[in-house]
Amino acid sequence: MAFLSGPQLLDWTSSPRHLQFNKFVLTGYRPVSSGSECVRSLFYLHNELGNIYTHGIPLLGFLFLLPANIPWSQIAVSWLGVVHYLACIMPHLGSVLYHLFMNHEGGESVYHTLLTLDMCGVCMVNTLGALPIIYCTLICYPSTRSMALFSYTALSSYAIYCAITAHSNITRLCSFAWQAFFRFFCFFLRWVGLGSGHPSSLHCYLIMDAVALLGGMINIARIPERWKPGKFDYWFNSHQIMHILVVVSILYLHWGVVADLLWITGYSCPLE
């Protein structure tokens, strides 16, 4: 795409204090802008452009292509398809809004509202994304399944609170730890034969969580810009790498969930 000329960009020391969260990104900061000026920043080069497009392009793809890749007519429990669709698009939507408008003239209050939306999107993929996994794993145990779905949803509300009130990337990542433990318990049940699901789904889910964890760790470590400050201001910094890994993780979630939803349609629980 052809980039337009933009305003004079700032260095790290000249940018607003609430945007000084990565000291290894030295240049390319947008000045404080109105809403329309933030939108215009889609068309000129700055250090948030890669963050916007690495989630903006997948957002458009998931919005319009994902419904065609969910076998609605073959899904026995339709709400599972709906929550899966929402789980796949919400983190991208929150991220795009956050990165696009983070330098809004509303200042720090607007920034923290956008950060909250971004964190809510992350929480949604962790919460809604796991519901089909839990449902299919415990398909033969209706009472336990209902209790597990309710418990996971209720406790996820606390995870959202922890994530939006966290004061660092490390504590924010830790906010989602118990949700990961819950998912891994479901994976363990499948592995030992006490849970159910499509044979290929467990492999997808393990890759999903491994890739997501790797992305989170890269973001916390600020690699590779930590090694060469200023060299990755515009492209290939840790946050962009994390965004790409998040997209890969959600693709594996999608492949695993679709396989599971098709599988339970023709599955009959064994008689006791």
What are the C-alpha distances in Å from 136 to residues 46, 80, 97?
44, 10, 33
| Residues in Cβ contact with 152 at an 8 Å cutoff, skipping those fewer than 6 apart | 127, 130, 131, 134, 179, 182
**8 Å CB contact between 156 and 175:** no
- Residue 167 is labelled as binding a ligand: no
- Residue 243 is labelled as binding a ligand: yes
Structure tokens at 179: 């949700």
Structure tokens at 216: 């989170």
| φ, ψ (nearest 5 deg) of residue 29 | -80, 135
Q: Where are the alpha helices (DSSP H) in 128-200?
A: 131-137, 142-165, 169-174, 177-192
**8 Å CB contact between 191 and 175:** no
- Residue 112 is labelled as binding a ligand: no
**8 Å CB contact between 205 and 179:** no
Binding residues for Zn(2+): 99, 239, 243
Binding residues: 99, 239, 243
